[in-house]
Amino acid sequence: MKRRSFTILEIFVGSLLACLLIGLLFNKLHSQIKGQKVIEETMSTALNHARFNERLSLMMMRLEGAMYTERNPESDLDELFFQFDNGIDPDPNFCHLVEAKLFRNRSNQVILELKSETPNVTPRKEILLANIEELSFGFTVTKNAPAKKAAETLATWQKGAKEAPDLLEISLLRNGITTPFLFRL
């Protein structure tokens, strides 16, 4: 028997089908890699927000003294000032009562700056979050609000205010999404 060879048309159709299958396979692989990247970014953001929430929750539970906001004249952004009991810290200069400042810098990082009560000690700066487009504060007062009226929420809290807020809301804007964090004081 004589062996029949493939015609050019059969080779062309076979090559076309092979290219189509390889293209579909690469498309599926690309989609899977892209989806995995989105999942990893989302998990990383959620973990960073959880760390931020945990760090600030611990500080807010140990609040001592006044809390207030001031606008930084250089950056024209609000900064939150407060004092808290830092407990035992690896650096003895930052043990017990420390002054803290929470703010967003020009690099869009949320910074926690701790100042020691010990003179001539350089403040410690900790980057809590990155790529934050906006950091805002809200202070809710409910103690003196009439029963029929809703609680009052203020964007700033003055230094030397007679009463303390009941709730602190810290809102972060990142990638067009606002994430609020609430702390009972």
Q: Smallest Cα–Cα separation from 107: which of 129, 136, 76?
A: 129
In a domain, 170, yes or no: yes
In a domain, 4, yes or no: no
Structurally, how many domains does the chain consist of?
1
Cβ(61)–Cβ(87) below 8 Å: no
Q: Quick one: pLDDT at residue 143?
A: 63
Q: Quick one: pLDDT at residue 2?
A: 72
Kindly list the averaged pLDDT for each block of 10 residues, start to end, along the chain of length 185. 81 93 94 94 92 93 91 90 92 92 94 92 94 94 64 88 88 93 91
Report pTM: 0.78
In a domain, 66, yes or no: yes
In a domain, 44, yes or no: no
Supply the range of the domain harboring residue 74: 50-184
Q: Smallest Cα–Cα separation from 134: which of 159, 155, 158?
A: 155
In a domain, 116, yes or no: yes
